[in-house]
Structure 1
Amino acid sequence: MTNLEKAVFVIGGGIGGLGAALAAAEAGQKTVVFEQAPQFGEIGAGIQMGPNAMAVLDRFGLADEIAKYAVFPQRLVLKDVFTAKELSALDLGEEFRAKYGFPYIVLHRSDLHRVLFEACEKNPLISLINDQVIETVEETPAGVTVTNQRGEQFTGKAVIGADGLWSKTRKYFSEDQPICSHYVAYRGTIPISEISSNANMDDVIMWIGPNLHVVQYPVRRGELYNQVVVFKSSNYQEGSDDWGTPEEMDRVFEGCHPLVENALSFIQRQIRWPMYDREPIENWTKGNFTLLGDAAHPMLQYLAQGGCQALEDASYLADMLKVYGDNFEKAFTAYQEERIPRSAKVQKSARTWGEIIHAENPVSILLRNTLLENKEAKEFEMIDWLYGYKKIPAKI
């Protein structure tokens, strides 16, 4: 048995796991991150970071480095997928920044992950280990013991499960399974030079229609254009991959606006991303073992808050570890008492927002559009609860 009794273990080296490692290290804890992949990295395309996430990145001293890769959009825009009519916009300019303290940014997921990874690499309290599929977690008199796919065991002071939607650590708290929404996404980035001059590089644009949407925005300092195409499949079959195909995507988007048709012509069709979430759970802590990020509260992408909520988790966890020191049971309990209600609200709201933007009923669509069109771009009341979260302290 390999003994690391004086370390906190983080299972999973994604955005949430690396954030958790930085949080534990900030609280003075020696930390080991176990990542199942042969090397640390992030797949996917763009990611949106609201001011609630930027507050955490600033806390960890990473805001300036992130800014080197980010794009700072001026507006979030909703457009009709068939007519291109602008239905609503949210102004992200000076008033937004002043109100929430931080900007709204978009960037490539791999750029965000790399900045977090390099910060962990430089931190003398953090060790990063690859090729570690953690199969079991067990509390013992000596500490918390984890066992990997080769039967190797490691014992530490505490464990944070940050192993994502398909988490193996969540099974210790719930027997639930991911819930498929019957929606799929196709993602990708293309060089800015391929984009029509009609595209507005200052906006994050969401084209919406019945059971479908397309999101577009620039990333990597404006060098690439990120596109995400999402639709509900009428061919969904549990246990099958033969649904939500590129051919079905083409059929579903027939008749959409030419700018959207152009977007579909560039989208990468090799990787299909079925969209899942889970129901909120009432407890994700036991003794010196807790969950964080998608392992704790996987959510649909419609509020662009999955990564943001993982970073919020990390920030509040850092605070509790500072308050309670090596009393991990108390620290983890206090952490989840704050984070479960907050993250559950975001999970449920993401589902509701998905129903709103994908509305099929003509009456629902008319009501939605009327309400959106009468909303001013600098009305922030609807988003205060999301971006005005006050449990993130300033940089320490």
Structure 2
Amino acid sequence: MEIGILGGGIAGLSVALALRKQGYNPRVYERRAVPATMGAGVTLWPNASFVLEELGLLQDIAAIGGRPLTMRRQDAAGNALGGLDIGLLDRTMGYPSYTVLRRHLQQVLLDHAARAKIPVEFGRRAVAIELDAHGRAVAHFENGASIRPDLLIGADGRMGSVARKFVAGDNTPIYQGFVNWIGVAQGQHPLVDDISIQDFWGAGERFGCVPIRPDLVYWAAAQVRPLHEATPTADMRKEVEDLFAQWPEPVAHLIRSTPANAIQLIAVHDLEPLHTWSRANVLLVGDAAHAPLPTSGQGACQALEDAWHLARCLDGASGGLDDVFQAFSRIRAPKTARLAEQGRVFARGLFATDPEICRIRNERAKASDPVSDVQVLAAGWGQGLPMLGGAEITSVEGDGIGSLYRIE
């Protein structure tokens, strides 16, 4: 079977690797001319590490990633708001959590794709997909070329996905009312005291920092603002530094330790959950299918899960692609829709501007039971995977709010 994958990011490359392990020969088409990714870094939670181990990548990730064991929350004045015992979460789920720069994760995926002899073609921007006379999808590229594979996988992201437009008829992302400035701070001396994720909550503002090493930390600063003001300025580092000048350390130090030209501004969008992820012989995966907010903490993790589940669905299929697509969406749609909704719910509370709402939010965070939070996280993130001692999790108790104390 000829398989074409539109998109060479985390979703596209992990799907290619998973399918190659099953004996298929996928080919990846990436719109960018060179390897590049949006974003600073990601936290790979235990459900992602399970998939990475299955793909044979976890050892490489461990070599380049950080190993956080705690997450601490504070308000903008530095008052403690509780946290998460990541070590307990890892032990409960049976796999470690890692922090990694997105570009380094991308390079690991590309290296393994090269070893597996998976063709990855850059500079291949898809502009349209249409059906031929036999009902098979044809993807047309900007350079005039086209492909007509037996299976076409759309892993072309949340912004302007050609595959999502073909499947759903619409690919319009939804602005969720806040922006993220993201950056990577690096110094000759330690920038933080330990490898702990730190999350600072304000009123309509947030700052999160994620160490990989004490001298290498990626961060995201966020603020509520209307879309027409969500545009880069000439000196974004000064803008962010001024905005968070009075916040607890290491906030200001991390901003100052980031090259001014390396800070990006992102107007944060997500997508509505789809009723169907496929049309004809086209299947959506990753952000093209389900694009949660960064407040879900699960964007990259769910892209990796897609790869593992799709390989299993293809391997166990006795019928045609329709059966594969139905099985895949039946497994993936409920979990990804739930995580996307949780991301939205948490964002609404996190970016509240009313002082009383923020006070209640903070009090609830301080009063949360850390052991219960871990149990909810383990159940929610492990759902559908053979984790937790090999037992499949088939139900999730609680509201899952613990899973939302994340940045990505």
Report what 1:237 is aligned to: 228
Report what 1:204 is aligned to: 197
Alpha-carbon displacement from aligned partner over 1:21-46 (angstroms, at most 9, x marks no partner)? 11222232210100111123434322
Q: Establish whether residue 253 from structure 1 lines up as the match of residue 244 from structure 2.
A: yes
Within 2, Cα distance between the matches of 1:355 and 1:67?
A: 34
How far the C-alpha of 1:145 sits from its partner, in A, is 2.2
- Aligned pair count reads 382
Q: How big is the alpha-carbon RMSD for the aligned residues of Structure 1 and Structure 2?
A: 2.5
Structure of greater relative contact order (alpha carbons < 8 Å, 6+ residues apart): 1
8 Å CA contact 1:187, 1:268 repeated in 2: no
Alpha-carbon spacing, 1:132–1:321, altered in 2? closer, same or farther (3 Å):
same
8 Å CA contact 1:201, 1:217 repeated in 2: no
Please give the residue correspondences for 1:154-165 in structure 2 after superposition, counting only pairs within 5 Å: 154-165=147-158
Q: Establish whether residue 62 from structure 1 lines up as the match of residue 53 from structure 2.
A: no
When the two structures are superposed, what TM-score results if normalisation uses the length of structure 1?
A: 0.89
- Where do 5+ consecutive residues of structure 2 fail to align? 391-408
- Where do 5+ consecutive residues of structure 1 fail to align? 1-5
Q: Establish whether residue 71 from structure 1 lines up as the match of residue 66 from structure 2.
A: yes
Please give the residue correspondences for 1:57-136 in structure 2 after superposition, counting only pairs within 5 Å: 57-81=52-76, 83-93=77-87, 95-124=88-117, 126-136=118-128
Report what 1:309 is aligned to: 302
Report what 2:18 is aligned to: 23
8 Å CA contact 2:185, 2:259 repeated in 1: no
Aligned residue identity for 2:30? E
Aligned residue identity for 2:108? V
Report what 2:47 is aligned to: 52
Report what 1:226 is aligned to: 218
Alpha-carbon displacement from aligned partner over 1:163-214 (angstroms, at most 9, x marks no partner)? 0011111111132411112322222222243555xx3322101111111111
Report what 1:35 is aligned to: 30
Alpha-carbon displacement from aligned partner over 1:314-343 (angstroms, at most 9, x marks no partner)? 111111010116822211221011111111
State, as a whole percentage, how many aligned pairs show the same letter: 25
Within 2, Cα distance between the matches of 1:43 and 1:177?
A: 18
When the two structures are superposed, what TM-score results if normalisation uses the length of structure 2?
A: 0.86
Alpha-carbon displacement from aligned partner over 1:110-151 (angstroms, at most 9, x marks no partner)? 111111111111114x22111111122234338442211122
Within 2, Cα distance between the matches of 1:239 and 1:189?
A: 21
Q: Establish whether residue 366 from structure 1 lines up as the match of residue 359 from structure 2.
A: yes
Within 1, Cα distance between the matches of 2:234 and 2:380?
A: 34
Q: Classify the secondary structure of the residue corresponding to 2:256.
A: helix
How far the C-alpha of 1:55 sits from its partner, in A, is 0.8
How far the C-alpha of 1:226 sits from its partner, in A, is 1.4
Report what 2:210 is aligned to: 217
8 Å CA contact 2:189, 2:215 repeated in 1: no
8 Å CA contact 1:185, 1:230 repeated in 2: yes
Q: Establish whether residue 138 from structure 1 lines up as the match of residue 130 from structure 2.
A: yes
Within 1, Cα distance between the matches of 2:23 and 2:29?
A: 19
8 Å CA contact 1:88, 1:372 repeated in 2: yes
Within 2, Cα distance between the matches of 1:202 and 1:246?
A: 24
Report what 2:342 is aligned to: 349
8 Å CA contact 2:69, 2:86 repeated in 1: yes
